[in-house]
Amino acid sequence: MRSHCAVYIDAGYLLAAAATRITGTSLRGGIDVNHERLISALAEHAEKNSGLPLLRVHWYDSARNGVPDPTQQSIGLIPRVKIRLGRIGYDGEQKGVDLRIGLDLVAHARNGAVEAIYLVSGDDDLTEAVEEAQAHGVQVTVLAIPNADGEPHGVSQYLQRAADGLDLFESTAVDAAVAKKIAPPVLPPPPPITSTGPTPATIMKRVAEAARSVAASPAIPQTATPAPRPAPVPIYSSTTGQAPVGIAAFQYTNLEEKINKVCGQVLNSWKASASADERLALSTGKPSIPREIDRALLHDMSEALGVYDLDDDIRHQLRAMFWAHVDI
């Protein structure tokens, strides 16, 4: 049997990394992607660097109820591309994607389907699956997406140590297949409808009716000028009366500056591609932050601080600062 290589793509990592390179944030909705061109370039990289023909590209993503959306359906029609879908939970988080990747890595290695695997992911949770695949004689290389500085984006140190190597994907290939999404143009309002207008007698009749209506109405009390809305602040302790201070305040320098920067970048990236309906939904849905935006905030904050998970205090400050940017 002739040996082959294969590419395993964590779509969440790939698209978030590409978005970060192009727009400065991991917001997937902020980019337009030529998936066929991008997948083809990844496959060519694997064949060139392994010296083996490609068996297949596996594309792992999540979908509502496991049903592919139109974009995922079109990706599944690309030759030698296999779609593997997890689910989107009630909380908006993806479920089962990492498990599918890990199970396929081990199963394909055990069955001798491939000799070399290129894993497009940076997820720490895949470390054990990589080691198990290697135990069956398969070489596993992490194929990382470059950031704007040409460095690997978001690859866990544990995963990097477990893999047989770390390859950096060509930045020109990313730039050729991914572009910043532009918001649809705002259409001008329709021209006013011209008419001859009411006659003078009609106008006088309406004025008289309005005057009688006002005279018959009870007096309207004066409404006090509303107080200005205070800026979002952390929730205060009911016992000490002080704002909570998390461990993050002692661990990180310039934390507030970094939070402010992440919130501004994510919001600006989102605005660049958001429609009028999406902007309205954001403002009317407060304080709930749309899942895609919240995921980008958490991801970018983790990247900025160099940590895998954020404590509750930082999450609270991050979301409060986001709404402060929206209200500006």
- Residue-wise pLDDT for 258-276, tens only, equals 888 888 888 888 888 788 8
Instruction: Return the pLDDT at 59.
Output: 97
Q: Is residue 30 located within the same domain as residue 174?
A: yes
Does residue 146 belong to any structural domain of this protein? yes
Per-residue pLDDT at 118: 98
Question: Nearest to residue 18, comparing CAs of 130, 141, 172?
Answer: 172
CB under 8 A, 24+ apart: contacts of 50-54 = 50/5, 50/115, 50/116, 50/118, 50/139, 52/3, 52/4, 52/5, 52/115, 52/116, 53/2, 53/4, 53/5, 54/4, 54/5, 54/6, 54/7, 54/80
Same domain? For 170 and 266 the reply is no
Q: Same structural domain for residues 31 and 163?
A: yes
Q: Which two tokens stand for residue 69?
A: 């959306």
CA 305 to chain centre: 18
Residue 202 lies in a domain: no
If asked whether residues 31 and 141 sit together in one domain, one would say: yes
Split at pLDDT 50, 70, 90, the class of 234 is: very low
pLDDT for 83 equals: 94
* Residue pLDDT, tens place only, 70-101: 999 999 999 999 999 988 766 566 788 999 99
- pLDDT tier, 198 (very low <50, low <70, confident <90, very high otherwise): low
| Confidence at residue 161, expressed as pLDDT on a 0 to 100 scale | 94
The answer to whether 126 and 133 have CB atoms below 8 angstroms apart is no
Note whether 6 and 120 are within 8 A (CB): no
Among the candidates 161, 180, 199, a domain finishes at: 180
Q: By three-state DSSP, how is residue 116 classified?
A: strand
In a domain, 81, yes or no: yes
Contacts for 38 with CB less than 8 Å, ≥ 6 apart: 14, 18, 173, 174, 177, 178
Query: What mean pLDDT is reported for the chain?
Result: 82
Q: What is the pLDDT of residue 187?
A: 55
Domain that holds residue 118: 5-180
**Best CA proximity match to 41, nearest among 70, 71, 7:** 7
Do 154 and 254 share a domain, yes or no? no
Q: Is residue 223 part of a domain?
A: no
The CATH number for 109's domain is: 3.40.50.1010
Q: Quick check: 211 pLDDT over 80? A: no
Q: What is the pLDDT of residue 304?
A: 83
In the chain, the percentage of residues whose pLDDT exceeds 90 is 42
- The larger pLDDT score, comparing residue 105 to residue 194, is at 105
Q: For residue 80, what pLDDT is reported?
A: 95
For residues 24-52, average pLDDT: 94
Residue of 60, 56, 58, 46 lying closest to 139 (CA atoms): 46
The DSSP symbol for 225 reads P
Q: What is the pLDDT of residue 275?
A: 82
Residue 282 clears pLDDT 70, i.e. is over it? yes
Last residue of one domain, picked from the residues 180, 199, 222: 180
Same domain for 170 and 253, yes or no, is no
Residue 219: pLDDT band (50, 70, 90) is low
Same-domain pairing of 14 and 144: yes
Same domain membership, residue 135 and residue 38: yes
Flag whether 212 is in a domain. no
Determine the Cα–Cα distance for residues 31 and 66; give it in Å rounded to an integer. Answer: 23
Are 158 and 21 contained in the same domain?
A: yes
pTM recorded for the entire structure: 0.71
Residue 219 placed within a domain: no
Residue 189 lies in a domain: no
- CA torsion angle 10 14 17 22 (round to 10): -160
Q: How many domains does the chain have?
A: 2
pLDDT over 90 at 218, yes or no = no
